[in-house]
Chain A
């Protein structure tokens, strides 16, 4: 099977700092892949390169067999690469409804009747449990709900690859269970790349785990392999989440 996403020698420096340093990465269709690593390891920078938010210093990104390295971000979204922000970035002054309507109306191909937009928006809000807050300005939602709104916006893009950057940050434990269900549902129709610090969530969801450290891939494998990996223990699990 051909990978959905591949990167070859992907690098990005900020000044002298090699935030992402020669990363070779492959992601199979249908997978739930978790990316973990200590703060500052380069996880957000890596997925920002994939989504096109920032440009690489060198290297190449292939999505579904096509070289997308030089495509602008919006065109990558149209190919099916959706990104939800680590730092919540909903439209604070617009209602939750409008936030989701933006991606919904763009993906509708069968005419943009208001009825079709409405159905799509409410479906995405219901899946994330926000339907009863549709009319609230997004900025007035609790932090956890803003995170869920981000996910709803990503979902509404009907992506083939959904990148979630620390989606459970700020969620209550009760919300996390629902969230895990939601990601499993999403994975039925999309490939998921999940950056996550919460190890129980990672262990329950991921098919495979990639560990970043200092801009490079330190290890990659099934949750069991990663748990047993001594280098990972040293770099990450043992120190920050012991």
Chain B
């Protein structure tokens, strides 16, 4: 990526945001709700992609950052009666702090050891949630009461359970994180992250403290995933331990691989694709996971770099 004119990438990203905005007015109710959820989870995938795609660190524990946001926000509302913005901030702060601690410990390792260490920490986090069932609801989870899911802005109050408000809130979060990702990727810092992925030793010999750079990336990635979790709790009203299970550490990896690692829009495409394949397949057969599996294998065979990654490689070299 040269310091080329930023017009094309920014136009593309703003276009995607405009498209999602317009879809809100035409989509039937079912797809409208599904897309709101997909946008929130795409934020999770974008956070994961920053670390996996750009820095090349494969974590198998990102469910803990998502759940840190989910529980941070959910518990603040349910037990402390905090307002929506305060609860969102609490979720974000929990994720950032957790990411800092996990980063300091896990970044002593790399490669397979990093995968295992992050997975173990996430497992501990999961068990802690189950252990403190009195506050967390254990494996039942908790529902965030509807009256508490109201965003008061001055004299207007927005009901987050209203489908349009919910969709627009999800879109707002998605857009902010998408534009932040784009800015990071195009910045000097983004260039350093890619350099670490390509050759960490060489990057050190250019005077970069690669540990600190990686730590910052873990914290940013964890914070974005926590933002997604916090938004999930507040918009969809459910805080459950399944989101902390290993399945939710692997899902963002799949979404990112599908959409294209190290592409800014790949996480959205991957999440969207996976949800709709499941949606369509489960309409035909109860063995829909089989179809999902076949779709995944075909994709890996024909688009090894993911959907957007392959498009970038073959046709659109300027894609960020």
Q: Chain A residues in contact with chain B, CB under 8 A?
A: 51, 53, 72-75, 77-78, 83, 85, 89-95, 97-98, 101-103, 105-107, 112, 114, 117-118, 134-135, 153, 157
Q: Across the interface, which residues of B come within 8 angstroms of A73, CB to CB? A: 204-205
Q: Return A151 CB to nearest CB of chain B, in Å.
A: 14
Q: Across the interface, which residues of B come within 8 angstroms of A114, CB to CB? A: 3
A106 lies within 8 A of B208 (CB):
yes
* A to B contact number (C-beta, < 8 Å): 71
State the CA gap A105–B194 with chains docked (Å).
14
A74 lies within 8 A of B207 (CB):
yes
Q: List 29 A-B contacts (CB under 8 A).
A: A51-B205, A53-B201, A53-B205, A72-B209, A73-B205, A74-B204, A74-B206, A74-B207, A74-B208, A77-B204, A77-B206, A78-B207, A89-B201, A91-B195, A93-B198, A94-B194, A94-B198, A98-B2, A101-B191, A102-B192, A103-B206, A103-B207, A105-B188, A105-B191, A106-B207, A112-B188, A117-B188, A135-B2, A157-B206
Is B285 part of the binding interface, using a Cβ–Cβ cutoff of 8 Å? Answer: no
Q: Across the interface, which residues of A come within 8 angstroms of B202, CB to CB? A: 85, 89-91
Q: Mark B206-223, 1 if CB is under 8 A from A, else 0.
A: 111110000000000000
Q: Return B194 CB to nearest CB of chain A, in Å.
A: 7
State the CA gap A75–B205 with chains docked (Å).
9
How many residues of chain B have a CB within 8 Å of chain A?
20
Q: Return B192 CB to nearest CB of chain A, in Å.
A: 7
State the CA gap A53–B204 with chains docked (Å).
9
Whose C-beta in chain A lies nearest to the C-beta of B212?
A74
A83 lies within 8 A of B203 (CB):
no
A91 with B188, Cβ < 8 A, contacts A106-B207, A114-B3, A135-B2 known: no
Is B11 part of the binding interface, using a Cβ–Cβ cutoff of 8 Å? Answer: no
Give the contacting residue for B2; candidates A85, A93, A95, A112; CB below 8 A. Answer: A95
B195 lies within 8 A of A102 (CB):
yes
Is B155 part of the binding interface, using a Cβ–Cβ cutoff of 8 Å? Answer: no
Q: Across the interface, which residues of A come within 8 angstroms of B192, CB to CB? A: 102
Is B199 part of the binding interface, using a Cβ–Cβ cutoff of 8 Å? Answer: yes
A97 lies within 8 A of B2 (CB):
yes
* Closest 6 pairs between A and B when the two form their complex, measured CB to CB: A77-B207, A105-B188, A114-B3, A91-B198, A74-B204, A103-B206
State the CA gap A140–B207 with chains docked (Å).
25
Whose C-beta in chain A lies nearest to the C-beta of B210?
A74
Is B1 part of the binding interface, using a Cβ–Cβ cutoff of 8 Å? Answer: yes
Whose C-beta in chain B lies nearest to the C-beta of A117?
B3
B195 lies within 8 A of A94 (CB):
yes
Q: Across the interface, which residues of A come within 8 angstroms of B198, CB to CB? A: 91-94
Q: Return A9 CB to nearest CB of chain B, in Å.
A: 25
Chain B positions 1-16 with a Cβ under 8 Å from a chain A Cβ: 1-3
Q: Return B133 CB to nearest CB of chain A, in Å.
A: 46
State the CA gap A73–B208 with chains docked (Å).
9
B205 lies within 8 A of A83 (CB):
yes
Q: Across the interface, which residues of A come within 8 angstroms of B1, CB to CB? A: 95, 98
Q: Across the interface, which residues of B come within 8 angstroms of A93, CB to CB? A: 198
Q: By CB atoms of chain A within 10 A, which of B202, B203, B206, B209 has the most?
A: B206
